[in-house]
Structure 1
Amino acid sequence: MNHLITLALCVFAFQTKAQTFKNPDSLFNPTPYGSSHASSVKTSGELVYISGQSGGLGKDHILSTSFREQVQVAIKNLTTILNSYQLKPENVMKITILIVDHSSEKLKIWEEEISKTWKNKPFPTSTLIPVPRLALDNMLIEVDAVAFKAN
């Protein structure tokens, strides 16, 4: 029995030291909604999991009515989190994009704006999911990501 308790404590200690969660002070506080902006798990490198970033600006999460402006802010918010890990967009391996009432016009705007950030292609892998609504009223886009930081 003592061996099982010791093993459980070792596993718990490993998990808590290997995992980190970040909520940069300049971004909206997501903790009341049961999430963090980003989490990472150390491997031979570090995987960084970034929660869906909306087009909400700053701590007050101000949402423009412009889809383009929300895309720009969502990418800026994603970049803020990457910077908190000393990462760049090139470190992103996978993104998921949720767009309210998706259309070819909105896809064109996404492509134009993402190309400004990912200047050094290739782009990360991605999934675009059209949705009828997001978590908060007036949110038009949400982008999550997984990034990798080599040791």
Structure 2
Amino acid sequence: MSHALKHLLIGGLIIMNLGNPTAALANENDLKLTIVNPKTLYDPSPNGYSTAVITPRGARVAYISGQGSQDSTGALSPDFAVQVEQAYANLGAALDGLGAKPDRVAKLTVFVVDHDMSKLEVLTRNVKKMFGDALPAQTLVPVPKLAVDGMLFEVEAVAVVD
């Protein structure tokens, strides 16, 4: 594996081009995601997610590694709500680094240590704050532990980029 590819993989960000590699996107609307919440299924939007999201043909897709709850100094709050807010701020910074906005996120996977129903309000509030009505598809995975001791929440994303 090349040195540059190792750094790309270790850095936690992989961007790939889907469809025709020579196709140029004409404008901002060419990157618009299509949210699908079939009427025959439960409406998940009050809970902060969509059933499915379709990315546009020919768009480049970025896979953003799990963003934990450490602040820029590496500090980690013991409070679940503070960790969730910080992790979404970190996701926002990763999106900024790609030149993307939250409305370009097609899919989230969130990992919650010792998940119980009391945590859903915090999760829903934060995802709606970041994404508004452009709610991505989302999966919540309860886990016993994350990579760093004391980490209670992590979020990874798939986004469309220019």
Task: Give the length in aligned residue pairs.
Answer: 120
Query: 1: CA distance between counterparts of 2:91 and 2:10?
Result: 15
- Structure 1 residue 38 displacement after superposition: 1.8
- Structure 1 residue 136 displacement after superposition: 0.9
Partner deviation per Cα, 1:12-70 (whole Å, 9 max, x = no partner): 9xxx89xx94xxxxxxxxxxxx7323221123221100000011111x32100111110
> Does residue 65 of structure 2 align to residue 54 of structure 1?
no
Query: 1: CA distance between counterparts of 2:80 and 2:110?
Result: 13
Segment drifting more, 92-101 vs 35-44? 35-44
Bigger radius of gyration:
1
Query: Any runs of at least 4 consecutive aligned residues in structure 1 with deviations exceeding 6 A, and if so which?
Result: none
Match of 1:99 in 2: 112
Query: 1: CA distance between counterparts of 2:131 and 2:125?
Result: 10
- Structure 2: gaps (5+ residues): 19-57
Q: Which runs of structure 2 are paired with 1:131-142 in the superposition (5 Å)?
A: 131-142=143-154
Q: Which runs of structure 2 are paired with 1:21-100 in the superposition (5 Å)?
A: 21=8, 35-43=10-18, 44-58=58-72, 60-100=73-113
- Structure 1: gaps (5+ residues): 1-11, 22-33
More strand by share: 1
More helix by share: 1
C-alpha contact (below 8 Å) 1:54/1:74 kept by paired residues: yes
C-alpha contact (below 8 Å) 1:38/1:81 kept by paired residues: no
Query: 2: CA distance between counterparts of 1:67 and 1:37?
Result: 24
TM-score normalised by L of structure 2: 0.68
Query: 2: CA distance between counterparts of 1:47 and 1:56?
Result: 25
The share of aligned pairs that are identical, in percent, is: 34
> Does residue 134 of structure 2 align to residue 122 of structure 1?
yes
